[in-house]
């Protein structure tokens, strides 16, 4: 009998400023992590960088591997090329095909928020749950949906694109800001770090970051407390819409804004008014793996396709 060959899981997180690779064992142990700057305005340089990271890691670890890549965009089911990417030089390119040709190895690509969701559903805050809706609230707002451990994509490859819906139960206080997607008043323009900053500026005339508002609130600043309360109410409404539509078993938050004090206590107290149920038992949890969830999810993505 031939000995079993151990298969490693390689994941790539292609960000706007950095590209990271991770190598995981089948049980989730990290064997290697490495980061390089992302040449974000040069598509061929991005491909070269990814190929170099994978080749170097494979030569170092000398074991068979699967490969998943998380990107700030999505693969069009129609063309197989990249769409909706914040790193605009990726748009219209056959990223998977170009990397596969160079490596002579299969590649699976997904949105970075989908990778985050898969990571937290696999061995993070949503581990063991039948369904997990996970959202990144940072410089933007993205989301992913996992059912029974499998990532849900959908025929348009946009399942979980929560950040580009309008705020439900909007009031006149919720400023309608233009979104890069071409619409006005998307959740991203209200809930993200820059969105919180813009909303607070419109309400108070003070221009400062979400972190600065949180520090002011911690000192007992009444105005800061109201800014964060308004943000938490908007988040509660937005997540109530998710619960009414999907009724996930767990909701997980990641990204810089997920670190704001009070979210996990306040938001579940507020969303009950907007959820179509006599009780709401949905847990709201902070991501276990933090900034590592994206690259870990990319690794699990590749493993799931093996």
In the predicted model, is pLDDT for residue 2 greater than 60? no
CB 95 within 8 A of CB 82: yes
Identify whether residues 274 and 297 lie together within a single domain: no
Identify whether residues 223 and 78 lie together within a single domain: no
Q: What's the pTM?
A: 0.90
- Domain assignment present for 184: yes
How does pLDDT run across 45-101, given as a tens digit for each residue?
A: 999 999 999 999 999 999 999 999 999 889 999 999 999 888 889 999 999 999 999
Tokens at residue 112, please?
């970075």
How does pLDDT run across 6-52, given as a tens digit for each residue?
A: 789 999 999 888 999 999 999 999 999 999 999 989 999 999 999 99
Identify whether residues 262 and 225 lie together within a single domain: yes
**Which residues pair with residue 12 across a beta bridge?**
21, 69
Identify whether residues 96 and 134 lie together within a single domain: no
pLDDT band for 153, please (50, 70, 90 cuts): confident
Identify whether residues 69 and 85 lie together within a single domain: yes
- Domain assignment present for 117: no
HSE value, Cβ hemisphere, 13 Å, CA-based, for 265: 5
Tokens at residue 289, please?
């793996």
What confidence score (pLDDT) does residue 92 get?
Answer: 96
Q: What is the mean pLDDT of the chain?
A: 93
Alpha-helix residue ranges (DSSP H) falling in 146-262: 188-191, 193-204, 210-218, 222-246
Identify whether residues 42 and 98 lie together within a single domain: yes
pLDDT band for 291, please (50, 70, 90 cuts): confident
């Amino acid at each position: 009998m031939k000995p079993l060959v151990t298969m490693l899981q390689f994941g790539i997180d292609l960000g706007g400023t950095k590209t990271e690779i991770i190598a995981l064992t089948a049980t989730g142990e990290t064997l290697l992590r490495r980061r390089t700057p992302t040449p974000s305005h040069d598509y061929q340089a991005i491909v070269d960088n990814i190929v170099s990271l994978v080749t170097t890691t494979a030569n170092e670890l000398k074991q068979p591997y699967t490969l998943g890549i998380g990107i700030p965009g999505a693969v069009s089911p129609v063309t197989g090329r990249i769409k909706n990417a914040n790193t605009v030089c990726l748009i219209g390119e056959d990223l998977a095909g170009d990397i596969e040709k160079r490596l002579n190895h299969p590649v699976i690509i997904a949105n970075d928020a989908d990778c985050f969701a898969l990571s937290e559903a696999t061995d993070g805050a949503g581990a063991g749950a039948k369904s997990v809706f996970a959202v990144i609230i940072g410089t933007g707002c993205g989301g992913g949906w996992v059912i029974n451990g499998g990532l849900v994509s959908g025929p348009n490859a946009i399942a979980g694109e929560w950040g580009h819906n309008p705020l439900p139960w909007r009031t006149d206080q919720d400023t309608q800001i233009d979104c890069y997607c071409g619409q006005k008043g998307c959740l991203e323009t209200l809930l993200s770090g820059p969105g919180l900053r813009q909303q607070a500026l419109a309400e108070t005339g003070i221009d400062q970051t979400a972190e600065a508002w949180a520090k002011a609130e911690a000192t007992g600043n009444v105005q800061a407390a109201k800014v964060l309360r308004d943000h938490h109410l908007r988040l509660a409404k937005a997540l109530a819409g998710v619960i009414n539509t999907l009724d996930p078993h767990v909701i997980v938050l990641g990204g810089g804004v997920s670190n704001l004090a009070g979210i996990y206590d306040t938001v579940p107290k507020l969303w009950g008014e907007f959820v179509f149920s006599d009780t709401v038992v949905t847990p709201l949890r902070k991501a276990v793996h933090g900034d590592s969830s994206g690259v870990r999810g990319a690794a699990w993505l590749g493993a799931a396709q093996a």
